């Protein structure tokens, strides 16, 4: 993958802009706040910050198709991960299994309403909504419709993104199981593997499809339409 560094604007103290739309060609690194000028890059490459190396943006000419395919796949795996048992244990002759919804429902049953609600939101509600909205968003962009709706979807997504914690839950499952080794026989369920695939897809998408890339794509699509 080719790296292209951007023109570095820090030394310029004052610039002249034709109008405010000229700001679209500027980009501020989200990690170190360095100002850069955006330049066209080749398909499938990324532009990195000259100061800290953080990825600023990527160009993918088929972003809508890739995004749609990935988010649909993730949604299917998410459904599997929620309907089937994650783990099954055998302990003292008893058999017990859990699914993801059972973890927060059992907290509700025991009266831990706040923790139960928080787990339900970060493990179930937000991940589901995020991927459902992503599917809708990419569909809208593919059909080149819904300028206003896609804006609200993107704003909603940027608020929900930090509150999705399935990757942390996956590590927690492993920690919980290591604690049980020696006390019980553990069988991994199908939902565990589905959750692994879902988390990998989630990580891949957070790394490769930034919301700012979708914002740029959206702007480009609706500008062409005008």
Partner 1 sequence: MIEVDEKDLIRCPVCEAVNIDRGRDNRCRRCGSPIYRYTHFKTEKSWAYLITAIIAYVPANLYPMLVTTQFGKTEESTIVGGIIVMWESGSYPIAAVIFFASILVPIMKFLILVYLLINVKYPMGKDKKINKHKLYYMTEVVGPWSMIDVFVVAILAALIHMHNVEIIAGTAATAFALSVFFTLLAAQAFDESLIKENH
What are the residues binding partner 1 (CB under 8 A)? 9-10, 12-20, 23-24, 26-28, 30-33, 35, 52, 87, 89, 91-92, 94, 96, 98, 102-107, 110, 112, 114-115, 118-119, 122-123, 151, 154-155, 158-159, 162-163, 165, 168-169, 171-173, 175-176, 178-180, 211-212, 215, 219
Q: Which residue lies nearer to partner 1 by CB, 115 or 132?
A: 115
For β-strands 87-91 and 55-59, DSSP reports them as unpaired
**Least spacing, CB of residue 142 vs partner 1, in Å:** 20
**Least spacing, CB of residue 33 vs partner 1, in Å:** 5
Q: How far apart are CA 48 and CA 31, in angstroms?
A: 11
List Cβ<8 Å contacts ≥24 apart for 2-5.
Answer: 2/42, 2/45, 3/45, 3/46, 3/47, 3/48, 4/39, 4/41, 4/42, 4/45, 4/46, 4/47, 4/48, 5/47, 5/48, 5/50
**Least spacing, CB of residue 2 vs partner 1, in Å:** 23
Q: Which residue lies nearer to partner 1 by CB, 76 or 125?
A: 125
Q: Which residue lies nearer to partner 1 by CB, 69 or 183?
A: 183
Distances (CA, A) of 75 to 5, 141, 212: 35, 19, 22
Q: Which residue lies nearer to partner 1 by CB, 19 or 225?
A: 19
């Amino acid at each position: 993958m080719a790296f292209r560094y951007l023109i570095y604007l820090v030394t310029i103290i004052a610039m002249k802009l034709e109008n405010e739309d000229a700001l679209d060609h500027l980009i501020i690194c989200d990690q170190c706040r360095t100002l850069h000028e955006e330049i066209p890059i080749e398909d499938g490459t990324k532009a990195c910050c000259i100061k800290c190396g953080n990825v600023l943006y990527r160009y993918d000419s088929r972003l809508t198709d890739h995004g749609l395919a990935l988010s649909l796949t993730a949604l299917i795996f998410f459904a599997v991960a929620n309907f089937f048992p994650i783990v099954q244990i055998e302990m003292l002759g008893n058999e017990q299994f859990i699914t993801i919804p059972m973890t927060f429902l059992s907290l509700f049953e025991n009266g831990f309403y706040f923790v139960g609600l928080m787990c339900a939101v970060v493990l179930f509600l937000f991940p589901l909504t995020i991927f459902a909205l992503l599917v809708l968003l990419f569909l809208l962009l593919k059909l080149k419709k819904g300028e206003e709706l896609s804006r609200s979807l993107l704003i909603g997504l940027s608020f929900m993104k930090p509150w999705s914690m399935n990757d942390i839950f996956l590590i927690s499952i492993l920690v919980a199981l290591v604690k049980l080794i020696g006390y019980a026989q553990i069988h991994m369920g199908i939902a565990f593997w589905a959750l692994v695939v879902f988390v990998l897809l989630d990580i891949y998408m957070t790394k490769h499809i930034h919301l700012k890339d979708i914002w740029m794509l959206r702007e480009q699509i609706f500008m062409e339409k005008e």
